[in-house]
Amino acid sequence: MLVVLATQCGAASEPTAPAQPAIDFARDLRPILESHCFECHGPAKQKADLRLDRRSAALRGGDGGPAIVPGRSGDSLLLHRITATSPDEVMPPKGDRLSEREVGVLRAWIDQGAVWPEDRPGAEAEEAHWAFQPLRETKIPAAGTGEDSRSAAPAQPIDAFIQEHLRKAGLTLSPEAPRQVLIRRLYLVLLGVHPTFEEVRAFEADPRSDAFERLVDQVLNDPRYGERWARHWLDVIRFAESNGFETNRERPTAWKFRDYIIAAFNEDLPYDRFIREQIAGDALGAPIATGFLVGGPVDIVGSPDPVLTAQQRADELDDMVNTTGTAFLGLTLGCARCHSHKFDPIEQREYYSLAAVFSGVRHGETPLPIPPEQADAKARADARVADLERRLARFIAPTAATTNAVPVSQQRPPVNARLNTEAFAPIEARRVRFSILASTGGEPCLDELEVYDGERNVALHTAGTRATASGTLPGYEIHKLEHLNDGKVGNSRSWISNTPGKGWVQLEFPGLTRIDRVVWSRDREGSFADRLPTDYRIEVATGEEQWTLVASSADRLPVAAQPGAKTTPAIVYRFDGLPVEEAELGRQWQAELERTRKELATLAKPPTTYAGQFREPGSTHRLHRGDPMQKREAVAPGTLALFRPLTMAADEPEQKRRLQLADWIASPENPLTARVLVNRVWQHHFGVGLVDTPNDFGRNGARPTHPELLDWLASDFMQHGWSIKGLQRRIVLSRAWRQSHAPRAEALAVDAADRLLWRFPPRRLEAEAIRDCVLEASGALVRTGGGPSFHLHEVDRENVYHYHPKERFGPDEFRRMIYAYKVRMEHDGIFGSFDCPDGSLVAPKRSISTTPLQALNLFNSTFVLDQAERLAARVSQEAGSDLPAQVQRAWELAFQRGPAADESKEAVLLAQSHGLPALARALLNANEFLFIP
């Protein structure tokens, strides 16, 4: 395919070339178009990119007119440019010029009418790419016939499709694998660890005809299933827990997204819901899930250079667009960033329509609902602070400023910049108004206004509560009305009135709500105490009028604060002249009050996770050649044109943009979504997908080896509720999956790569599974799931973070490797050599290399030496001092079987000569231990 940048310029008339034989687009022209990269760098200001593999694009042309005028090569801009001599106009500007023969072919093709493949009768079906077509209603092949019993009627449709291809190649499925192999394969594929020897024996002895089906159901309900399959998905979406780039700082809360993915697999969250939550979970009650959007690297180093800043932002959006395209659609959308896609029908404008969908997404932490246990603790702390303030009130000496009618002994402490609680009898309300009559100076400020119905904060905007105000100080991004009830505290997320010393804010609930207290603060982080409201009224109403006063500053002691003060005015308690016991009790209360206030400040902060921040975006423009400093026309948010294109309004609200995109991707009628997911699952069972380019279902990707099977699986997957566990169950119960992995000479001669699946393809485990299996065998594996990640690196936390692989490990590092802190641009010092992706790029499938470093790490590293010692100690403890019994137990722990006679003999000799740890180390390095059989 050819990409052209057409400019406004004239096209000189040229003499007609001599007649040539009829030019065939596919045979004669396509090789020329694909072997040259064409761009124009002409002096004209107006430019646009064109695609010549489709008639509509070439004839529409750019700002300079059509690239091709069928039948008139002399008037075609394309011919003018490829024959130009001026460096400003010549095309292509880089690389080899077209040869005289190639120019002649192009000229002849244009003069012959420029016939595209879609112009020929019947060519539409020929050119239609398989992945962009709707799922076909696939007829399950009839059962095979033949003398070989292995070609008897298949147990399920998967085998029917597999056998049909095998029959055409003169092959058959292999016999079913022994039960000991089947259970090990099942555990390693679905759980990523070996079964125990006892589990293998129990399965082998199970006489029931549905023993394997029962085992499959048991394994799919094992919580280790989510840990195993979450790792596959995290590879696909480039997840890591550091920023990458120069500083590579940590994301301490990103582990919550990893745990969300694990839970989603364990709970068998329907895949269409899984898609929607990762793109727009903040609108669907799953705010952690949008960690998908910001899971990639981000450059946090700011710059005064607007070009660099714009480039950084463009790169962030490109990461979101490209990852969404590859993960869910199997399309390389990033290839359309600088010009229309070279292979697939994706215009550059469509790329920027998708970028507009994500243009309101920023990297950063997002607040989460306060969990019940934290809310309970906060309520207890609130009550204790109020109680202590009441007890200590009598120790505050009267001042000349005290003119309150309430006796000093009954007055509450002065307002506090950190936190103030206004409790009152439960009352029904639709609106709450906080009126400020005076402050410590300047326009008053509130960082958060909370209203409680028992333990639930009903003021949050996420609960549907709407905030209004008398006015807001203009010109400050950190001081906005929307910050008043966003669940985030601190001066950087606050509201400031636009009137010195006064102002009001009002919260309106979705409906009538029973409330019992209001909690407010000026700066809950404790950095600022200026602009503190000192004289205020809190009123409630059920309708438009008839406000009822529920709390005010009238019963508080006055505050003597200096304008501009940055610390909370201290309340002075006096214990002089009091009886010793009374003074000591007062001091104890004061100390407890200070501790409880600090605890309360922590409890008041909602937990956060690295799942992005969302704001209403501005306009999005198509960027010429992807350059953020060369904006062209504005582009509205939308989807790709290849399937029921969806165009949104230019001012579509940010969240709705993502919701609509998610619905478009998750539609059962989208031709790509189910195919892509089914192919990914198949890949992790058989080592390679039915399409062996899992992130590229476009024209440059591979065609499926079994297209009918792929479509049948995709349709069946959706018909059964998008259940990934259901898909897993169907695959592992097939005869194709249960067959032996043993090679057969006649099959190897026909299909050495086993793409027809005449046997189960054995393969080495991934790095994480190898480490987990080593820990499982030694008995050191800590099965605690979820929670903050453990480190396999020592970290120097300076401006630029440095990570040094650990040399020594203990129980803190003995959890499953999915719970290890995933650092970009760095690998674990031992298992990183086993082809681990580092999260800098999407990794749809891992490469499988064999290197000396792998062997050295697995044989001589301190980790493996330690685990071999632990395995030897476990064997001695469980088998006693008898060496043959120790060998038997070692085989059971490593291979889930007993040793053969010759194996036992050789193992005893090795242990006698070099010790039991040496034997244990050899077993941990055996192919049988490291491979999926």
For residue 445, what are the CA distances in angstroms to 421, 451, 686? 16, 17, 61
Q: Where are the beta strands (DSSP E) in 489-630?
A: 495-496, 503-521, 533-541, 548-552, 608-610, 613-614, 620-623
Residue of 593, 578, 591 whose CA lies nearest to 397: 578
Return d(Cα 298, Cα 824) in angstroms, integer.
Answer: 11
Residue 247 · residue 800 · CB < 8 Å: yes
- CA quadruple 615, 619, 620, 624: dihedral sign: negative
Name the helix (H) or strand (E) containing 429.
strand 420-439
Residue of 612, 608, 610 whose CA lies nearest to 279: 612
Residues 6+ apart with CB under 8 A from 883: 908, 911, 912
Residue 515 · residue 426 · CB < 8 Å: yes
Phi-psi category of residue 787: left, alpha or beta, with phi > 0 → left and psi -120 to 50 → alpha:
left
Give residue 11's pLDDT. 36
Residues 6+ apart with CB under 8 A from 573: 392, 395, 396, 586, 590
Residue 160 · residue 173 · CB < 8 Å: no
Give residue 230's pLDDT. 98
- CA quadruple 558, 563, 566, 572: dihedral sign: negative
For residue 172, what are the CA distances in angstroms to 153, 164, 706, 735, 756? 12, 9, 16, 11, 10
Give residue 43's pLDDT. 35
- CA quadruple 453, 459, 460, 461: dihedral sign: positive
Peptide bond preceding 607: is omega within 30 degrees of 0, i.e. cis?
A: no
pTM score: 0.76
Residue 296 · residue 320 · CB < 8 Å: yes
Residue 188: burial class (beta carbons within 10 Å; 0-12, 13-18, 19+): buried
Instruction: Give the up-direction half-sphere exposure of residue 315: CA atoms within 13 A in the CB hemisphere.
Output: 14
Specify the amino acid at residue 565. Answer: A
CB atoms within 10 A of CB 793: 18
Give residue 402's pLDDT. 37
Q: Name the packing angle between helices 916-924 and 862-879 (round to 10°).
A: 120
Specify the amino acid at residue 117. Answer: P
Residue of 264, 275, 293, 270 whose CA lies nearest to 329: 275
Return d(Cα 800, Cα 778) in angstroms, integer.
Answer: 37
Return d(Cα 103, Cα 84) in angstroms, integer.
Answer: 12
For residue 277, what are the CA distances in angstroms to 361, 463, 659, 841? 15, 18, 9, 22
Return d(Cα 838, Cα 828) in angstroms, integer.
Answer: 10
Using DSSP, state whether 659 is helix, strand or coil: helix
Residue 826 · residue 245 · CB < 8 Å: no
Return d(Cα 781, Cα 816) in angstroms, integer.
Answer: 7
Residue 64 · residue 77 · CB < 8 Å: yes
Name the token pair of 600.
């309360």
Torsion of CA 508, 513, 514, 518, to 10 degrees: -30
Residue of 600, 551, 574 whose CA lies nearest to 384: 600
Name the token pair of 720.
């059964």
Return d(Cα 676, Cα 691) in angstroms, integer.
Answer: 9
Give residue 38's pLDDT. 53
Question: What DSSP assignment string belongs to 87-101?
Answer: TTT-SSSSSPPPPHH
For residue 880, what are the CA distances in angstroms to 763, 779, 911? 35, 16, 14
Residue 111 · residue 78 · CB < 8 Å: no
Name the token pair of 124.
């539409």
φ/ψ of 3, rounded to 5, equals -110, 125
467 has which bridge partners? 507
Instruction: Give the up-direction half-sphere exposure of residue 230: CA atoms within 13 A in the CB hemisphere.
Output: 29
Helices (H), 615-667: 654-665
Return d(Cα 823, Cα 800) in angstroms, integer.
Answer: 13
Residue 882: burial class (beta carbons within 10 Å; 0-12, 13-18, 19+): exposed
Residue of 47, 3, 635, 674 whose CA lies nearest to 321: 635
Name the token pair of 580.
């010793």
Give residue 150's pLDDT. 44
Return d(Cα 214, Cα 732) in angstroms, integer.
Answer: 12
Give residue 201's pLDDT. 97
Helices (H), 192-305: 197-205, 211-220, 224-236, 255-266, 271-280
Give residue 4's pLDDT. 38
Residue 409 · residue 393 · CB < 8 Å: yes
Q: What residues in the chain have per-residue pLDDT under 70? A: 1-20, 26, 34-65, 93-94, 117-127, 143-155, 396-410, 560-571
Q: Name the packing angle between helices 654-665 and 348-357 (round to 10°).
A: 120
